[in-house]
Structure formats: C-alpha cells, structure tokens
Amino acid sequence: MSFTPAKWPRRLRSQEWYGGNSRDTIYHRGWLKNQGYPHDLFDGRPIIGILNTWSDLTPCNGHLRELAEKVKAGVWEAGGFPVEVPVFSASENTFRPSAMMFRNLAALAIEETIRGQPMDGAVLLVGCDKTTPSLMMAAASCDIPSIVVTGGPMLNGWFRGERIGSGTHLWKFSEAVKAGEMTQDEFLEAEQSMSRSSGTCNTMGTASTMASMAEALGMALSGNAAIPAVDSRRRVMAQMSGRRIVQMVKDDLKPSDILTKQAFENAIRTNGAIGGSTNAVVHLLALAGRVGVDVTLDDWDRLGRGVPTIVNLMPSGQYLMEEFFYAGGLPVVLKHLAEAGMLHRDALTVSGATIWDEVREVVNWNEDVIRPAARALTPEGGIAVLRGNLAPNGAVLKPSAASPHLLTHRGRAVVFEDIDDYKAKIEDEALDIDETCVMVLKNCGPRGYPGMAEVGNMGL
C-alpha cells in the first residue's frame, strides 16, 4: 500500500517524522501504528500533543485524564490527530521541599518534550500552582500553537454552615487549635469538609490566579479560569479547546502572537483586580522572558497603581471560586477593566478574537462577589513593590490581603537561618518574640533556596 501524504494546506512539523515513505518515516509511523491507528490518519493532518500534568500525587490535577478524553474528542472532530503525553507534574501540596524549586526544571523538561517530538500544536492541561506557568513557559519557548486548559477549582468547602477555603482555613483552624478555640477532632472534621471534589484550591490562591492569568493573557478560551472542576461546562471547555487548537495550527497562531507587551499589561492589571497571588509576579516575569517581552518588577508597581480589587474572594474577601463562576467569572472582571480604561482591548486571544470582543457582552450576576469599583475591597489592589535593606532587589506585597494596621510598622527583627530553623523554633516558649516582632528568614527560600523571598514566594 503506497502512502499519499498531506491533504493539509501546508507541510507541518510532524511530517518530518510521519510524511513520505523513507525508511525513517516508516520506522516512526510503523511504531505509532502499534496503537491501532489506521493508515489514512497519517495524511498530513496536525498532530496535537495533549500535555497532561495528571498524577495521583498531584491531586489537584487528578481528574485531568478525563478532561484529556474530551480534548481528544475535540481534536478528532476538527480533523486533528491527538496524542496524550504525560509531563512533569509538581504538586504544591506534596512536592518537597517546595514545588517552586521545580518550576524551571519542569519548564525545561516540557520544552524538550515538545521540541523533540512530532507535535504541531499543544493543549496544556494544567491546574496546580506551578503546572500552569511551567507549561506556558515551555510552550512559549517552542512557540508552536498552544492553548491552556485548566482543571478548574474544587467546589466550595463547607464546615458547620461556614464556607471554608483551601489554605485560608487550614491556617486559621490550626491557629484556633493552638489557641484552644477548636478541638483536634473538630479540626479533623473540617479536613473532611475542605476538599469536597476534584479540582484546584478554591480560593484566589496561586492556582486560581494563574488560571486567571492564562485567560487574561489570552492563552485560554474566555471563561476557562473559574468553571468548577466537576461542572459539565469544564468538560465542554476541554472539548472546545481541542477543536480550537486544530484551527490555531491551521492559522499558525502561536504564543508569540498572543504574549505581547499588551497582553502582559492586561494580566498585571487583572491580577490587581482579582486580588491575585504574589506568585504571579515570579511566573509572569519568567514567561515574559521566554518570549522576549520586556516586563520588569517596576511594571507591576506602575500598572497596579489605581487598580481596585473588585473580586471578593478569600484570602482577601469572603467567597470562593464557585461563587466567582456563578457571578460571571473572569470575563466580567476584564469587562470592568476595559470600561475603566485599564485593558488593552485589541489584545489577541487563542480564539482569534480580541479580548474585548470576548467579554463585551458579559453580565455581572452578583455584585457582592464581583463588586463595582465604588465598593471595591481595596481601592489600590495592585501588587506593591517594596525595596529596602531586607530585600535590596525588591519584594512584593498583596495589599488586598494585608492587615492595614501592619502596612506601616516598626518592630524588632527576629532572624531565622532558614525555614527549618523557623519550624524548629517557632513553637518554643523560650523564643524571645512577641506580636510586634518582624520575622525574617536569612535564607528565605525553602531549605535556604536563595533569592525566592525577594519576589515574595511565601505569599498566597
């Protein structure tokens, strides 16, 4: 049986492996056929890599294999050829000493996974904190058409009639136990109530922030960030993204077309409006570097000024991602920013439309969850950049989550060598410390990993 290649309008990258009838092609094609693919699928159609950060030990992404099936369905429907590829997955809640230390390693590993293999486009299946930036960084470096699909947040936690958020309440309850205001048994009961479904942290922590950043940058379809993991619309989003990536390959719409200076400025302002994580600073600076866009710490300071935090979510506010979705999600925030003159409306998104075209018709269904600027949580919500002798290269602060009475404070410094030293001493009654002291880690990153505290890694 002879092989007639390429119905596709132009020869794609994957044809270097599968196009023609050379000995090498037959070697590559023949091996893939051991999975039962019919010969006519090798007709030059785009191979779409579904880069999956699923892992049993990244429970936040534990449902991504199901979502991958929906992505595949979309890719097949649109005339592509999906291949699911497991990639480095660093979970925030299990990886020691800190998932942050492995973001760059993950990005490098995934970059080579894309570069060394026959993919014409990539769907980035991500969720937990570091998985989203590491895959975006890898895709940006390779600059093949790519689209982000996040796994979505968990449903609300509920405990004794109260909403409880991932992280936020863990710290709160653990302090309550220490203070004798809560029993250990109650704490265990709360544990069962905290993580009720598949998905990422349900507060505006790093995972929700980075999902929002991907959407604000234009790297995900509109509305992606807030759909709960278990909502059927999350699966629809996955399938639609599978369809869309095939067209993106056809149009040769690449990360470098989307990740422009304008897109980063939109994301920085969005981070202020949602009360997003300080970790976004570290990740967006790294991503900008991958595409050669000049973004600095000073841009965060400059652009964040005057952006009110309007999303009333923990840890800054009172609700969780589920309510954010019901209120309309990130598109409502982007519309608010655009109407306030704080969004570059012409920034391109993976849909092929501008960001303004994606959000101009949306409605805010709950003005207590997404507030009008006049009732903002914090009038100046953008990340504040601090400099001084403790952090000569700069540190960042999230004003919406800061205690106002501590914004100006003078106190005695209690210095710990590193996080291990802190953990060993902090519960010691003999430690000379009181509530007015400022705690400083000399080597501020996990296990003394240098430099990370300079950009505020410890923030939610």
Instruction: Give 166 or 316: the residue with its C-beta nearer to ligand FES.
Output: 166
Cα–Cα distance between 89 and 61 in angstroms, integer? 9
Shortest Å distance, C-beta 220 to ligand FES: 16
Instruction: Give 32 or 230: the residue with its C-beta nearer to ligand FES.
Output: 230
Instruction: Give 205 or 276: the residue with its C-beta nearer to ligand FES.
Output: 205
Shortest Å distance, C-beta 99 to ligand FES: 8
Eight-class DSSP state of 225 = T
Instruction: Please give the backbone phi and psi of residue 327, each rounded to the nearest 5 degrees, phi first.
Output: -75, -15
- Kindly list the residues in this chain that would bind ligand FES in the complex (CB under 6 A): 60, 91-93, 128-129, 166, 200-201, 205, 207
CA distances from 264 to 26, 175, 258, 277 (A): 44, 37, 10, 15
Shortest Å distance, C-beta 101 to ligand FES: 15
Instruction: Please give the backbone phi and psi of residue 49, each rounded to the nearest 5 degrees, phi first.
Output: -80, 125
Instruction: Give 166 or 271: the residue with its C-beta nearer to ligand FES.
Output: 166
In single-letter form, the type of residue at position 374 comes to A
Eight-class DSSP state of 227 = S
Shortest Å distance, C-beta 368 to ligand FES: 25
Contact (CB, 8 A) for 149 and 237: yes
Instruction: Give 47 or 128: the residue with its C-beta nearer to ligand FES.
Output: 128
DSSP secondary structure of 132-201: HHHHHHHHHHHT--EEEEE--BPPPEEETTEEE-TTHHHHHHHHHHHTTSS-HHHHHHHHHHH--SSSB-
Contact (CB, 8 A) for 166 and 125: no
Instruction: Give 201 or 359: the residue with its C-beta nearer to ligand FES.
Output: 201
Shortest Å distance, C-beta 131 to ligand FES: 8
Contact (CB, 8 A) for 370 and 275: no
Shortest Å distance, C-beta 94 to ligand FES: 8
List the end-to-end C-alpha distance of the chain, in Å, as a whole number: 59
Cα–Cα distance between 276 and 268 in angstroms, integer? 9
Instruction: Give 92 or 323: the residue with its C-beta nearer to ligand FES.
Output: 92
Cα–Cα distance between 282 and 313 in angstroms, integer? 22
Instruction: Give 93 or 117: the residue with its C-beta nearer to ligand FES.
Output: 93
Going along 211-338, which residue ranges are E strands? Answer: none
Shortest Å distance, C-beta 451 to ligand FES: 23
Shortest Å distance, C-beta 36 to ligand FES: 35
